[in-house]
Amino acid sequence: MSVSTPVRALTPAAVMARKGDTPLVCLTAYTTPVAKLVDPECDIVLVGDSVGMVLHGLPSTLGVTLEMMIMHGKAVMRGLGRALCVVDMPFGSYEESPAQAFRHAARLLAETGAAAVKLEGGLHMKETISFLVARGIPVMGHVGLTPQSVNTLGGYKVQGRDADAGRVLADAHAVADAGAFAVVLEKLPSALAATITNEVPVPTIGIGAGPACDGQILVVDDMLGLFADFRPKFVKRFATLAEDAGAAIHAYAEEVRTGRFPAQEHSFGAAS
């Protein structure tokens, strides 16, 4: 009798070893059913604080709480078998001090079962990242456009243009030097992202940062076309599910109003 080998989830070390190899495939997920869908294809699944905007209707990520991230992290972990699960640390949960960051990161990993956390920031987060890594918490960095700093950045603008390129490059080096196993590059000029990818020793994961990165990530709802009125330049729609869902809901409503649903095949008869 043959015994099937259980699927082993990827580790941060395995992801780090993919630097310069086949590009890493990454998507967000916030629920168990979506986690099950993306798991066979993804190397990394991010439980992003974008959940606040995507599922909860918040205007930005700033209102996302640690409890929300734990709830969605648990849900995603129930649907994963292969992919590395990374959970975002929400705004206000790590900026105060390395000790604060450790308490909340430890809680995230302990309560969700995820393997790593992601936090935003470069040079000013170097000490915090180093503190977490030294205490057994794998960290993914995030530089360039950092949505939790949207009020300081003046909106969701491309970062690292012209004189600003040196700042972003220094941020990426700081994150890698601090021990992060990978770093997200968001909304950067392609040439700058390529320079960063060539210079830092850890994988770069691009979102709106061009094709030279070691991997790519998108919000799953964006690439599936679940938002008919939202289409950033860096998102390619691989489906148009909002249109399909709208048509299906319209058909259902019409059949209910005209008495065509439920039909006999959808109804139960008397017990025999």
Whether the CB-CB separation of 170 and 123 falls below 8 Å is answered with: yes
Query: Does the active-site annotation cover 186?
Result: yes
Round the average pLDDT of the chain to a whole number and report it. Answer: 95
Rounded mean pLDDT, 42-52: 98
Whether the CB-CB separation of 80 and 37 falls below 8 Å is answered with: no
Query: Helix crossing, 98-112 with 66-77: angle to 10°?
Result: 30
Q: What is the dihedral of CA 85, 224, 53, 65, to 10 degrees?
A: -10
Q: Which residue has the tokens 């700058």?
A: 192
DSSP for 157-185, written as a single string: -----GGGHHHHHHHHHHHHHTT-SEEEE
> How confident is residue 124, by pLDDT bands cut at 50, 70 and 90?
very high
What six digits make up the tokens of 212? 């030279």
Domains delineated in the chain: 12-240 (3.20.20.60)
Q: What is the dihedral of CA 55, 60, 66, 68, to 10 degrees?
A: -10
How many residues are present in the chain?
272
Catalytic residue among 41, 127, 186, 255: 186
Residues 136-188 pLDDT 10s: 999 999 999 999 998 888 888 999 999 999 999 999 999 999 999 999 999 99
φ, ψ for residue 220 (rounded to 5)?
Answer: -60, -35
DSSP-derived pairing of the beta strands 84-88 and 116-118: parallel
Query: Helix crossing, 98-112 with 126-134: angle to 10°?
Result: 50
Nearest Cα to Cα of residue 105 among 157, 152, 143, 70 = 70
Check residue 54 and give its pLDDT: 96
Binding residues for 3-methyl-2-oxobutanoate: 49-50, 88, 118
Binding residues: 49-50, 88, 118, 120
Whether the CB-CB separation of 175 and 125 falls below 8 Å is answered with: yes
